[in-house]
Amino acid sequence: MSGVHEECGVVGIYAPQGEDIVRFLYYGLLSLQHRGQEACGIAVTDTGRDELDVNCIKDLGLVSEVFSKETLAALNGNLGIGHVRYSTTGESVRENTQPLVLNYCKGKLSLAHNGNIVNTDELREELIRTGAIFHTTMDSELIAFHIAKNRVHSKSVEEAVYKTAKKLKGAYGLVIMSPKKLIAVRDPFGIRPLCLGRRGKTYIVASESCALNSMGAEFIRDIEPGEIVTITEEGITSNYKLKQETKAHCVFEYIYFARLDSVIDGIKVYDARIKAGELLYKRHPVDADIVTGVPESGIAAAKGFAKASGIPFDLAFHKNSYIGRTFIKPSQSERSIGVQMKLSVLEEVVKDKRVVLVDDSIVRGTTMENLVKMLKKAGAKEVHIRISSPPFMYPCYYGVDVPSNKELIATRKSAEKINETIGGDTLEYLSVEDLQETAKGLMICTACFTGEYKAGQKSNDNEG
């Protein structure tokens, strides 16, 4: 129920033996839909044809809205990439949808990108200096143009990708399709996730392992931070590696973004959320009758809290899964209506009970204020709020859409004051140290809680 949003999800598939992979791209995108609901697209080619061409269908809307049986039937090929988008850079218009398809000296180059590049000004100026007339603000387009430019003096497309990636600062998981190759790149900090899988002789790259499961594929491994993987007829090669940096895997993947059944960098998302709930109880115990979670991302942490405390877990909310996300409505008053449309309280579960309410984060505080009101109106005697992350205080520069600083309630108010505002009986957060424990020693980015950015920072931040 967080007020922060992931930017994108990517998938790439290559079946060298010639199998049509379009339906698998579609399944992959459906399973990555939680990472972006504004737009989506598929670009595909058939490496068996003499005349190589790329067919691309992309538009604003959910995967199930953009791709019907008929549109999918119009696409076929054995090499393709796909994208779901939640826009933070560039307007939400059809022109900004991905994959991008670019004509270049070797045919067509297609690219899909998850994350955010922080040095776009430098990249654009370099293109202008070398003679390109270039006005785009889209980081994905800048990356594609740099690859095309570098390809002229490179012996392979992966070398051109390497030369380009060396110049990128920020967070990225890239899938790139050249006429006969699928290339995947993960930023040197490992901020955004990217993994590799296989289904028979078909190779798959995806933002999350849940996409592999949806295709009946097996997980091979995570793509290493800074690694460039090339998939050709001959199989997988990994000949280029970007300069190693201190790792900074986005901890919000485990708290909220990633799907519960995904495994990222060796950590099961489900386990991390259960652990967060257990630690919340250990640090901030409370006497109560039931533990409940805010659907969906608060549920696993609530189960962890219940497991550690012995207090029974119960479902206090029914979620209407067919309502759009609350952030579609911009004003505060409309947002509160959105919460009530999406969730309703099961009165018989909470009436006369002392309730522990677990959620992944508090961003503006509006959602939590409404949930507490709803629980109390339904007869809850007490509502103790437990948050499975620290106070959210700083913007993210790496592709995660966070409201401006002045909208983040924790930048203006202490936990005590926030609790007064939202009407809870108690409010407690997980600490940054405990968050590290949920990630089992993995080096994580926690900049939105600490303000310490490891992978560079945009000068024109969104401070309000």
Q: By the criterion CB under 6 A, which residues form the site for ligand SF4? A: 191, 250-252, 396, 398, 400, 445-448
First to last CA, the chain: 23
Quote the least distance from Cβ 400 to ligand SF4, whole Å: 4
Decide whether 355 or 445 has the Cβ nearer to ligand SF4.
Answer: 445
Quote the least distance from Cβ 401 to ligand SF4, whole Å: 9
Quote the least distance from Cβ 403 to ligand SF4, whole Å: 12
Residues carrying an active site annotation: 8
Give the whole-angstrom CA distance, residue 171 versus residue 175. 14
Decide whether 338 or 399 has the Cβ nearer to ligand SF4.
Answer: 399
Quote the least distance from Cβ 446 to ligand SF4, whole Å: 6
Give the whole-angstrom CA distance, residue 382 versus residue 321. 27
Q: Where are the beta strands (DSSP E) in 46-169?
A: 55-60, 79-85, 100-104, 107-117
Give the whole-angstrom CA distance, residue 380 versus residue 397. 39
Quote the least distance from Cβ 176 to ligand SF4, whole Å: 22
The single residue listed with the structure tokens 């061409």 is 53
Give the whole-angstrom CA distance, residue 187 versus residue 18. 30
The single residue listed with the structure tokens 């592999």 is 212
CB hemisphere CA count around 303 (13 angstroms):
11
Quote the least distance from Cβ 398 to ligand SF4, whole Å: 4
Decide whether 10 or 54 has the Cβ nearer to ligand SF4.
Answer: 10
Give the whole-angstrom CA distance, residue 110 versus residue 100. 5
Decide whether 6 or 158 has the Cβ nearer to ligand SF4.
Answer: 6
Measured in degrees and rounded to the nearest 5, phi and psi for residue 43 equal -125, 135
In angstroms, what is the C-alpha Rg of the chain?
23
Quote the least distance from Cβ 269 to ligand SF4, whole Å: 14
Q: Which helix (H) or strand (E) holds 418?
A: helix 415-422
Decide whether 217 or 448 has the Cβ nearer to ligand SF4.
Answer: 448
3-state secondary structure of 281: helix
* Residues whose CB falls within 8 Å of the CB of residue 295, separated by 6 or more in sequence, listed in order: 1, 317, 319, 343
Give the whole-angstrom CA distance, residue 142 versus residue 147. 9
Decide whether 416 or 463 has the Cβ nearer to ligand SF4.
Answer: 463
Decide whether 160 or 408 has the Cβ nearer to ligand SF4.
Answer: 408
Closest CA to 258 of 74, 114, 45: 114
Quote the least distance from Cβ 191 to ligand SF4, whole Å: 5
Decide whether 402 or 422 has the Cβ nearer to ligand SF4.
Answer: 402
The Cβ of residue 344 has, within 10 Å, a number of other Cβ atoms equal to 14
Measured in degrees and rounded to the nearest 5, phi and psi for residue 436 equal -60, -40
Q: What is the DSSP string of 419-446?
A: HHHHT-SEEEE--HHHHHHHTTT--EE-
Can you say how many angstroms the Cα of residue 301 is from the centroid of all Cα atoms in its chain?
Answer: 19
